[in-house]
Amino acid sequence: MATLKELCGGLPLNPLPPNHGRDPNIPHAPVRTPNLTTEEERLALRNALRYFPPTLHSTLAIEFAQELRQYGHIYMYRFCPTIHMRAYPIDQYPCQTRHAAAIMHMIMNNLDPAVAQFPQELVTYGGNGQVFSNWAQFWVMFHYLSTMTEEQTLVMYSGHPLGLFPSLPSSPRCIITNGMVIPNYSSRESYEKMFALGITMYGQMTAGSYCYIGPQGIVHGTMLTVLNAGRRYLGTSDLRGRVFVTSGLGGMSGAQAKAAVIAGCVGVIAEVDEAPLKKRYEQGWLMEVTKDLDHCMQRIREARRSKMALSLGYHGNVVDLWERLWQEYERTGDLLVDLGSDQTSLHNPFSGGYYPVQLGFKQANHLMKTDPQHFRNIVQESLRRHVEAINKLSEEGMYFWDYGNAFLLEAKRAGAEVEKSGGGDTEFKYPSYVQHIMGDIFSLGFGPFRWVCTSGNPTDLAQTDDIATAILEEISVTVNERVQQQYNDNIRWIQEAGKHNMVVGSQARILYSDQRGRVAIALAINRAVADGRVTAPVVISRDHHDVSGTDSPFRETSNIYDGSAFCADMAVQNVIGDAFRGATWVALHNGGGVGWGEVINGGFGLVLDGSEEAGKRARMMLNWDVSNGVARRCWSGNSNAYETIQLTMENQPQLKITMPHHVEDDHILYRALH
């Protein structure tokens, strides 16, 4: 068993660690099919061997070639550390700066087997959300972090540690880019080859930026989505006896079961893979599991009648579940579902992100490797059936939305009936949850703000929960009703999170807050670190899925209607602005959520160490990190964003935003063009 000190000593080369290969006791990523030529295979090997001295090449080349041909990628399993991978208390890391130790804390949490979806393949969530491309990169980065000073910045190119470069103490300690590919080459097919060559990687959102906090984040977001869907579609906040049907219990989607119960409804979640189903049941996040659709229908009826909160896992394909719900309606006239969505990893539809109804789980894994084109055809046929059942139920009164996982985008590409008559490029028959449910929240400046107590002490997390609750309660009485509802939802969330054992991995919390709340919470936590109420530094961060962090025309910016939904200035500017306003590290990614080539997104980490300097950084950076996106949404024509940024300018005299003058009479446009 390696120690943290050994982990920071650089690649273990003399002697080489034994090659144990894949651990059969944990889940593994699906086999990738990059379809490399012989020359490209040689290039992949040459690239991988760059991390090692020539004396080891003959030994390592053989096993790396075997990995490449067997799994479609060189993960370097030999170098998977034997240490128990988890977020250790910050003081245990042998570093010269606590900022570097905080980054180590966050990385090890992303790779903790209790957190990560496929830990040996360095995948945190989403089926292919990588922290690194291979294990050599992990060892090299940890060595750099252990030696780094406050006058150096570590530069990361898609998992590869380029090196330590001289910088200022005020500079970020780490700059990360993932998947920054020339736009015309940012296709799914090109990605598969580039990843196999070891030259780029898909960092998802918070996988490659080291800021994932386990499924708690998506529990919170899903809970708010379901609550707001109830308000919008069903006209009520009381979801007792209401049924929410969806799919996926893996990395991010595993949160849906717990979110449904906290929201008070009946959540029925289909999952084809027994491993995540079992994991969520053992965690207590899933209350019941069944393989029997008859039993599933029976439990839905019983839970509706008794108005009990229930999370029911169906071990089977979600298409079978949707089709059975339609058959029940035809047979009895009972519409057994009120709300519907989907969280299969359709950003990655042909490499294990979506399992077609025609095949069993093992059959699908075999076919995607042996005949990728036939598998693609079967997936698209399944998507057409999937949508057909949803369409029928929706016509009878069920409300469905796209959860930003590229479900409708891939369904459209498959030829399913999802197009909106007269709609624009980003509009479908069903809305994105951003368009109808969460979009106005972003325009108000609300988004997923989070923090991690690097002591690893639950008492510190409880203290920060109390701090955040007190601040939200104080602010909530000073705002309008629309904003107050958001504050009240998040106060409820913090109270419920403690009861429902939300922590998986690091001692972390997430909530949705606006600019005022984020700054106030960060400054209060920093003061608590300074006076010892919180015993170690706290890392503040957010999901990239936020007000300013992501340009994604089929999700975060799907409600931008001035034609700029496909522009990425906001996300790129946000990372640049965070970097020089005080972030400890920043990350900019291609892909995330809806898939490679479909989105640009970024994030940050900022260490609150109790110093006056940390407080200044937090105030400056967090104000920018929210105002940037609100200003962009204001310019696009959103009235809520207009009001929000006006109020922010009144409170911040140095903030000056270009405000739009809207055309009041559309006839002017028609006359000008005719």
The tens digit of pLDDT for each residue in 540-569 reads: 999 998 999 999 988 888 888 899 999 999
b/e burial code for range 267-294 (CB count within 10 A of at least 16 → b): bbbbbbbeebbbbbbeeebbbbbbeebe
Mean pLDDT score, 249-264: 81
Residue 638 has pLDDT above 60, yes or no: yes
Give the pLDDT of residue 212.
95
Q: What is the pLDDT of residue 423?
A: 74
Note the pLDDT tens digit of each residue in 417-452: 998 887 777 778 888 777 677 657 899 999 999 999
Give the pLDDT confidence of 438-497 residue by residue, as tens digits.
657 899 999 999 999 999 999 999 999 999 999 999 999 999 988 898 899 899 888 888
- The answer to whether 472 and 516 have CB atoms below 8 angstroms apart is no
Q: Which residues contact 367 (CB under 8 A, 6 or more apart)?
A: 359, 374, 375, 378
At a CB cut-off of 8 Å and minimum separation 6, what does 203 contact?
129, 130, 131, 158, 159, 176, 178, 179, 209, 587, 589, 591, 592
Strand partners, 269: 246, 313
Position 435 scores a pLDDT of 67
Q: How does the average pLDDT of the chain come out, rounded? A: 93
Q: What is the per-residue pLDDT across 639-658, written as a single tens digit (0 to 9) for each?
A: 999 999 999 999 999 999 99
- Asked if residue 403 lies in contact with residue 343, where contact means CB atoms within 8 angstroms, the answer is yes
Q: Which residues contact 56 (CB under 8 A, 6 or more apart)?
A: 13, 16
> Which carries the bigger pLDDT value, residue 363 or residue 215?
363
The answer, yes or no, to whether residue 134 has pLDDT greater than 90, is yes
* Banded pLDDT at 533 (limits 50, 70, 90): very high
Residue 626 has pLDDT above 80, yes or no: yes
Kindly tell me if the per-residue pLDDT of 500 is higher than 80. no
91-104: average pLDDT: 97
What mean pLDDT is predicted for residues 56-68?
98
49 conformational bin, left if phi > 0, alpha if psi -120 to 50, beta if neither: alpha
- Which pLDDT belongs to residue 1? 66
Segment 210-214 mean pLDDT: 93
Mean pLDDT, range 251-264, rounded to an integer = 81
The predicted structure's pLDDT at residue 499: 78
Question: Per residue in 150-204, pLDDT tens?
Answer: 999 999 999 999 999 999 999 999 999 999 999 999 988 899 999 999 999 999 9
pLDDT digits (tens, 9 = 90+) for 277-318: 998 898 888 999 999 999 999 999 999 999 999 999 999 999
Placement of tokens 């090890």 in the chain: 108
Measured between alpha carbons, how far is 163 from 152 in angstroms, rounded to an integer? 10
pLDDT for res 252: 63
Give CA–CA dist 543/554, Å, rounded: 17
Residue 231, Cβ density class (10 Å: 0-12 exposed, 13-18 middle, ≥19 buried):
middle
Residue type, 260: A
What sign for the dihedral angle of Cα 423, 602, 573, 157? Answer: negative
For 667, counting Cβ atoms within 10 Å of its Cβ (0-12 exposed, 13-18 middle, 19+ buried), the class is exposed
Convert the pLDDT of each residue in 223-247 to its tens digit.
888 988 998 899 998 999 999 999 9
For residue 253, the model assigns a pLDDT of 62
Torsion of CA 93, 99, 105, 111, to 10 degrees: -120
